[in-house]
Structure 1
Amino acid sequence: MFFADHNPPHFHVLGRDGAAQVSIETLDVIAISGRVDLREALEWAAANRELLRTKWNELSGS
């Protein structure tokens, strides 16, 4: 996540060969560039969704 990032609430996954933005609410990929293996990140996000929501609200000022 980045400070004061745009909606919808999302997090960034950075890989060696690309990057992706993933919705916190649905875990759908919003944007992707290059090749990114999202399996581990999506598993972690599913188990830590409330933490992601809390951090989003802290960083976005919501």
Structure 2
Amino acid sequence: MPRLQRFSSTEIAMFFADHNPPHFHVLGKEGAAQVRIDTLEVMASSGRIDLKEALAWAAENRAFLEEKWAEYSGDGQ
């Protein structure tokens, strides 16, 4: 699972060959979330996790996330 960005309390990662829709994972010490790349909608979350910093970064780096999704998932989207 490549880690793409680290923050003070969370990090952004993607899984190889993950399921659609294109998304990334926000991982923290006390929880995790899955977030769609196109809308930044939180698809699932568990535990306690602060998403503010990760979502702000994702909004500014959406093209990078889309590129990495295509690279890691192999679906070319």
Q: What TM-score, normalized to structure 2?
A: 0.79
Report the alpha carbon displacement of residue 16 of structure 1 after superposing the two structures with TM: 1.1
- Paired with 2:52 and 2:72, the residues of 1 have a C-alpha distance of 25
Matching residue of 2:6: none
CA offset digits 1:11-61 (Å, max 9, x no partner): 000011100000000000000000110000000000000000000000111
Which structure has more relative contact order (CA 8 Å, sep 6+)? It is 1
Quote the residue 1:29 is aligned against.
42
Determine helix, strand or coil for the equivalent of 2:21.
Answer: coil
Whole-angstrom distance in 1 between the partners of 2:42 and 2:73:
20
Q: How many residues align?
A: 62
Alignment pair present for 1:44 and 2:46: no
Structure number with the higher helix fraction is 1
Query: Structure 1: how far apart are the matches of 2:31 and 2:73?
Result: 24
Give, in whole Å, the separation in 1 of the partners of 2:69 and 2:56.
Answer: 18
- Identity among equivalent positions (%) equals 71
Q: Look up the equivalent residue of 2:32 and give its one-letter code.
A: A
TM-score (norm 1): 0.98
Q: Which runs of 4+ in 1 moved over 4 A?
A: none
SS of match in other structure, 1:22: strand
